[in-house]
A and B are shown apart, each in its own frame.
Chain A
Amino acid sequence: MTALAARLGGIRWTHPRTVGIAGIFLGAVAFWLTLPPLAARTSALPILVGLLAIAAGIWAWARDERRVGGGAVAAGLLGIAFGFLATQSSTAHLDSVVVWSALLAATLRYATPLTYAAIGGLFCERSGVINVALEGMLLTGAFFGIWGAIWAHSWAGGAAWAVGLLIAALAGMAMAAIHAIWAIHLKVDQIISGTALNFLALGITGYIFIDKYGDTGTPGNVADYGIPDVHIGFLKSWYFVGPIIGQLNLMIWLSIVLLVATYVFVFRTPYGLRLRSVGEHPRAADTVGISVYRVRYAAVIGSGAIAAMGGAYISLGFVHSFSENLTAGTGFIGLAALIFGKWRPFPTWGATLLFGFSSALADRLPNAYGNQWGTLFQALPYVLTIIAVAGVIGRSIGPAAAGRPYEKQ
Chain B
Amino acid sequence: MSDELLAEEFEEAPPPGGPPQPQQHFASRFRGLTGAVAPLVTVVIAFLAGGLVVLVTGKNPVKVYHAVFNGTGLNWFFHIGSYHARIPFSTHKMWFPWNTASIAAGNLQQTLLLTTAIILCGLAVAFPFRCGMFNIGGQGQYLVGTYVAVWLGSSFVNLDPFVHVLLCVVAGSLLGAVWAGIAGLLKATVGAHEVISTIMLNWTAVWVGEYLFGQGGPLQGSNKSVPISNDIAAGAKLPVFWGLALLQGLSIGIFIALAVLVVYWLIINRTTLGFEVRAVGFNPEAARYGGISVARNYFLAMAIAGSFAGLAGALDITGWEYNLGQNDIPVNQIGFIGLAAALLGRNTAIGVGLSGLLFGALINGTSGRQLDPSIFRPDLAGNLTTIIQGLVILFVGLNLGAIWASIRRRRRRAT
Contact = CB atoms under 8 A, between A and B. Distances in A.
B393 A195 contact: yes
How big is chain A's contact interface, by range?
35 or more
A382 B201 contact: yes
24 contacts: A132-B136, A178-B394, A188-B397, A188-B398, A189-B397, A189-B400, A192-B397, A192-B401, A196-B393, A196-B394, A196-B397, A200-B386, A202-B390, A203-B384, A203-B387, A206-B383, A207-B384, A372-B210, A375-B210, A379-B207, A379-B211, A385-B196, A386-B200, A389-B190
Contacts of B199: 132, 332, 335
B195 interface: yes
Interface residues of B, number: 56
Nearest to A373: B211
B377 A383 contact: no
A203 B390 CA distance: 8
Given A189-B400, A391-B190, A210 B380 contact: yes
A325 B332 CA distance: 12
Interface in B276-335: 330-331
A191 B134 contact: yes
Contact of B404 (A178, A189, A195, A329): A189
A385 B192 CA distance: 11
B77 interface: no
A336 B204 CA distance: 12
B343 A192 contact: yes
Contact of A211 (B380, B398, B401, B408): B380
Contact of B383 (A203, A332, A372, A376): A203
B386 A206 contact: yes
Interface string B374-415: 000101101111111111011001101110110010001000
A207 B53 contact: yes
Interface of B: 53, 57, 134, 136, 182, 186, 190, 192-193, 195-197, 199-201, 203-204, 206-208, 210-211, 214-217, 330-331, 336, 339-340, 343, 377, 379-380, 382-391, 393-394, 397-398, 400-402, 404-405, 408, 412
Interface in A363-388: 370-373, 375-376, 378-379, 382-383, 385-386
Interface string A116-144: 00000000000000101000000000000
A211 B376 CA distance: 11
A132 B197 CA distance: 12
Contacts of B383: 202-204, 206-207, 210, 324
Given A339-B196, A372-B215, A382 B203 contact: yes
A187 interface: yes
Contacts of A389: 186, 190, 192-193, 196-197, 200
A202 B401 contact: no
Contact of A379 (B186, B203, B387, B400): B203
Nearest to A384: B200
B343 to A, nearest CB: 7
Contact of A202 (B53, B201, B216, B386): B386
B391 A196 contact: yes
A140 to B, nearest CB: 12
Given A379-B207, A386-B186, 17 more contacts: A186-B398, A187-B402, A188-B397, A189-B404, A192-B397, A193-B397, A196-B397, A197-B394, A200-B386, A203-B390, A206-B383, A210-B379, A375-B217, A379-B211, A383-B200, A391-B190, A391-B192
A395 interface: yes
Q: Is the interface of A mostly helix, strand, loop or mixed?
A: helix
A195 B389 CA distance: 10
A213 B362 CA distance: 25
A214 B192 CA distance: 42
Interface in A171-210: 178, 182, 186-189, 191-193, 195-204, 206-207, 210
B387 A332 contact: no
A176 to B, nearest CB: 14
Given A186-B398, A390-B190, A203 B200 contact: no
A201 B206 CA distance: 21
Contacts of B203: 329, 332-333, 379, 382
Contact of A182 (B182, B388, B394): B394
Given A192-B397, A196-B393, A339-B196, A383 B343 contact: no
Contacts of A335: 196, 199
A230 interface: no
A324 to B, nearest CB: 8
A332 B393 CA distance: 19
Contacts of B405: 187, 189, 405
B182 A375 contact: no
A245 B326 CA distance: 36
Contact of B401 (A187, A325, A333, A372): A187
